[in-house]
Chain A
Amino acid sequence: MGAIFGLSIRQLTGRWRVTLILLLAALPVGLAVIINLAAEGDAAFNEDFTNILLDGLLVAGILPIVTMALATSSFGNELEDKTLGFLTLMPVARWRIVLPKVLASLVISGPLLVVSGVIATLLGFDGEVRPAVAVAVSLGAGVLAYSAIFTWLGLVTTRALPFALVYVLLWEGVTSTFMSGVDYLSVRGYSLAIMSGLDEASFPALEDRVIELPVAIGGAAVVTVVFLLLGVRRLQRMDVP
């Protein structure tokens, strides 16, 4: 499994991809600095910071985009250049191929997003550790669930990236914002609920619109496991070019 993990890390750390991810990860930090300077003393600062930067930009935007850029490529690139056939002709159980692919996306995007979220939160919350930890855990859960979903998607279609974009924009973005109940089936909903559940006092803006913490943790875990299993099943059943 270590060999495939190492291979996947090398495949996913191409220069342009890493540069793009670093730029995206830096965005919340830069924005946090600007908001901090511009809205100092503003009564609605906490609410705006939570809704606009943490939810709108980080959880609903950068988290899925960065993860999809990596995870859809895990298998997508191998299918495109026909190297996946090489891996599937090795005496390696299919889950030992899928799991390292998911982990590789997680290991690259996770730390970057978590560090970005933590720094932005520390800036927005005057260095308070608790909200930063809550953001870190919620982003970690989101990266894990998205990695599993998008890795599976990369196996299902050669157009994984556009499909992933549509899913993120329509389901995780528009639908989960305007339709109650969708949060129970949304990675964004799980992430925000975990953030709020771990530190309710720091994120009052989320209090009334998130699902229960245990449901969110369970939902993120179920989504991760289900899509991991779907990925394994897909790799077992598909005709590999």
Chain B
Amino acid sequence: MSEPQTPAQAPTIDVQGVSKWFGSVVAVNDVSFQVQPGITGLLGPNGAGKSTILHMITGKASASEGEVTVLGQPTRNNPELYRDIGVMSEYEAVYGFYTGREFVEFTARLHGLGPIATPVDRAIGLAGMEDAQHRKLGTYSRGMRQRMRLASALVHDPQVLVLDEPLNGTDPRQRLDFHDTMTQLAEEGRTILISSHILEEVETLASTILLMVSGKLAAAGDFRAIREKLDEQAYQVRVVTDSPRRMAAALAGTDDIDSVSIGEDGELTVLSRNVTSLQRSIPRLAQDQGIRLKRVEPLDDSLESIFSYVVDR
């Protein structure tokens, strides 16, 4: 995990008062934040404006208002800056006729690297794609494609990495490898900005997070502090059993819940501020009481609703 940075350190990425609108639709509304070396997670539900912000940070899109700089320079119409930035966009399209290695070599050539064999080998190694490097990209699984795209973003050894939903389509093993690679790169002093709409994906990776909701920056800072704020909110969980009254009585006797109610259909709605503990205690209680659990499901743990708690706060 990357070390927290001191506030005095010059930001690698500086976003100041940035807005972006498409006609009458405001995609990003007056967002300001700074990103320091280490791993920062950009979180938000789909449509929150994460990709639009990343497009402006990487210079692919212009800001309607405000300023974006990376390493002290504007990114828009500044191709030379890409020598220091590695980008993995959310679109997974690749040139299917290239082999994985050819694709990374192509990127290396566009970066004007000298002898390309060493950096290409290094980048493919970092992405763990040595075995599949000579296969055509068109034959790759989604996860493999993501990893080779990561190799392409790393081939020029950039100081700044901007990765938009890099874990899409990856399996748990690939996620672990990705985690290790990112941690290693962050420890080397790089600045890594990773976007995701899945909270848990970034939870173990980023020490700092930026929460975006409806085009606005809802929260920014230390991940744990924001998570604690989120945990203050009670969540609803639906529990379906063959004996709802006995289950309700058993739950009422624990410290994990705020309230429990039985609906007309016999389903329990449990309100809890400690969902993690509740998830463990429900099966235990059911087993102790000889109750058959049919279904346990969170009613509002989607990222959208979690973020709405933060925004409404």
Please give the residue numbers on chain A whose beta carbons come within 8 Å of chain B beta carbons, in ascending order: 2-4, 7, 10-11, 81-83, 85-94, 236-237, 239-241
Which of A88, A90, A237 contacts B107 (CB under 8 A)? A90
B273 at the interface (CB under 8 A from A): no
Looking at A7, A88, A91, the one whose CB has the most chain B CB atoms below 10 A away is A91
A82 to B109, CA, bound (A): 21
Contact A90 B110, beta carbon cutoff 8 Å: yes
Could you jot down 14 A-B contacts, CB within 8 Å? A2-B109, A3-B106, A3-B110, A4-B110, A7-B106, A82-B91, A89-B58, A90-B82, A90-B110, A90-B111, A91-B80, A236-B77, A239-B62, A240-B55
Contact A240 B82, beta carbon cutoff 8 Å: no
B61 at the interface (CB under 8 A from A): yes
In the complex, how many angstroms separate the beta carbon of A224 from the nearest chain B beta carbon?
24
Q: Which residues of A contact B7 (CB under 8 A)?
A: none
Q: Which 6 A-B pairs have the closest CB atoms?
A: A82-B91, A239-B61, A90-B110, A91-B82, A3-B109, A81-B93
- Which interface class (under 10, 10 to 19, 20 to 34, 35 or more) fits B? 20 to 34
A10 to B97, CA, bound (A): 8
Q: Which parts of B5-32 form the interface with A (CB within 8 Å)?
A: none
Which of B77, B89, B109, B111 contacts A85 (CB under 8 A)? B89
Name the CB-closest residue of A to B87.
A89
Contact A83 B93, beta carbon cutoff 8 Å: yes
Contact B82 A89, beta carbon cutoff 8 Å: yes
Q: A91-B83, A93-B79 are in contact. Are A239 and B110 (CB under 8 A)?
A: no
A237 to B76, CA, bound (A): 9
Q: Which residues of B contact A88 (CB under 8 A)?
A: 60
Q: Which residues of B contact A94 (CB under 8 A)?
A: 79
- Give per-residue flags for B49-66: 1 if the beta carbon is below 8 A from chain A beta carbons, else 0: 000000100111110000
A220 to B91, CA, bound (A): 38
Contact A7 B95, beta carbon cutoff 8 Å: yes
B112 at the interface (CB under 8 A from A): yes
Known contacts A3-B109, A89-B60, A91-B80, then 12 further A-B pairs from the complex at CB < 8 Å, ordered by chain A residue: A2-B109, A4-B110, A7-B95, A81-B93, A82-B89, A88-B60, A89-B59, A91-B83, A236-B77, A237-B62, A240-B55, A241-B60
In the complex, how many angstroms separate the beta carbon of A98 from the nearest chain B beta carbon?
13
Q: Which parts of B116-133 form the interface with A (CB within 8 Å)?
A: none
In the complex, how many angstroms separate the beta carbon of A239 from the nearest chain B beta carbon?
4
Q: Which residues of B contact A3 (CB under 8 A)?
A: 106, 109-110
B225 at the interface (CB under 8 A from A): no
A23 to B71, CA, bound (A): 53
Q: Which residues of A contact B80 (CB under 8 A)?
A: 91
Name the CB-closest residue of A to B52.
A239
Name the CB-closest residue of A to B91.
A82
Contact B110 A91, beta carbon cutoff 8 Å: yes
Name the CB-closest residue of B to A240.
B60
Q: Which residues of B contact A2 (CB under 8 A)?
A: 109
Contact A92 B79, beta carbon cutoff 8 Å: yes
Q: Which residues of A contact B106 (CB under 8 A)?
A: 3, 7
In the complex, how many angstroms separate the beta carbon of B96 from the nearest chain A beta carbon?
9
Q: Which parts of B68-84 form the interface with A (CB within 8 Å)?
A: 77, 79-83
Q: Which residues of B contact A7 (CB under 8 A)?
A: 95, 106
